Amino acid sequence: MTDNSSRTTKLLKFHPKKYREERGEEIVATLQEIEEASGRGLSLANQFSVVCHGIQVRLGLTTESMFGKALDLAATPGLVMGAFFGLYLFIFGDVAIVNSSNFVPLFGPFLTVGPLLYFVWILGVAAVFEWPRFRRRIASLVMFVTVVGDVAARVAHRSPNTWVIALLISLGLPSVLAPTLLETRRRVWQSLVAGLGTVVILTYVLHPSDPGFFTSIYWSASFQLSEHMPIVDVVLVATVVTLWKIRQRELASAFVILSSPWIVVATFYPLVMSFPLGFSYPYDNGFNVGFLILWVIGMITIVTASRYQPNRQSPVEIS
């Protein structure tokens, strides 16, 4: 029993000091009940659960924190945005080359294996709407299949643009990071609005109907995103500031979270992209860098405001 108590004490160190002082005895009692019920020592699964809970409390990823609530608000809309983004890439990335004389289809009638990956996201969204309580598991599976599929396609030279795949995968992160709730809301209409809004913004930013050599947005999406993203960022900042001032802070934080992949990719693409000798990125990337700094400040503000505050009456979330 001494060894178990010592192990439990070490596990509790993952929690903030104030949390240990206020809730430590409750957690220890809960773990002792689990041990007595099982008749054995604390399982690895339970130990891992304690560690994860401690990290969640430190980062504000709990059901009662602003960050946790914002992640829950952004989770399902993020998956739906990914599905709509995949459908957009399918139409203007893979199907667009069918009537092109510049590219030859490499995967059946399509340019890449992208359509298979996008179909997985659509199935994932349908599954989340049907079984919302399994949202984290479904999102994790969809992201895993996307990563494995893209790696396999890359080996066979049938992979879509690396940047758009990174965007796609990032849109699933809120569902993975969001705290587990006793009842997870579907948020169908809000999610569909987010998905349709993504398509409208992408149509403005990427200009998929523009004629020219780049008949697939796989070759132009990252470039045009970096060029036009500052205008979208201005609208985003105005929206977030307005929501914050009217005390809709969880919703404002959700906007910041969902905008993260787009801001990061738009900023870093020109910085890491290698251009041929004598050429450089033709647009000023200073605005994107400026908005990236604002995004970092926003995320720090969200996390800081979500730090654990003592004397909150909430249940210990150890599964």
Q: What DSSP assignment string belongs to 179-205?
A: PP-SS----HHHHHHHHHHHHHHHHHH
Q: What per-residue confidence (pLDDT) applies to 84?
A: 95
Q: What per-residue confidence (pLDDT) applies to 62?
A: 81
Q: What is the pLDDT of residues 104-127, one digit of tens each?
A: 666 666 778 888 999 999 999 999
Phi, psi of 280 (to 5 degrees): -150, 170
Domain ranges for the chain: 2-59, 68-305
Is the model's pLDDT at 73 over the cut of 50? yes
CA 267 to chain CA centroid, Å, is 17
Higher pLDDT: 295 or 51? It is 295
Q: What residue spans of the chain are helical by DSSP H?
A: 2-12, 17-38, 44-59, 66-89, 114-130, 135-155, 162-170, 173-177, 188-206, 221-245, 249-272, 286-305
Alpha-carbon dihedral of residues 71, 237, 207, 273, nearest 10 degrees? Answer: -80
* SS3 assignment, position 110: strand
Largest CA distance in the chain: 74
Q: What is the pLDDT of residues 132-178, one digit of tens each?
A: 989 999 999 999 999 999 998 888 878 888 888 999 999 999 999 88
- 27, 311, 312, 319 from 315: Cα distances, Å: 10, 12, 9, 12
Q: Is the dihedral of CA 234, 165, 74, 193 positive or negative?
A: positive
pTM of the model: 0.81
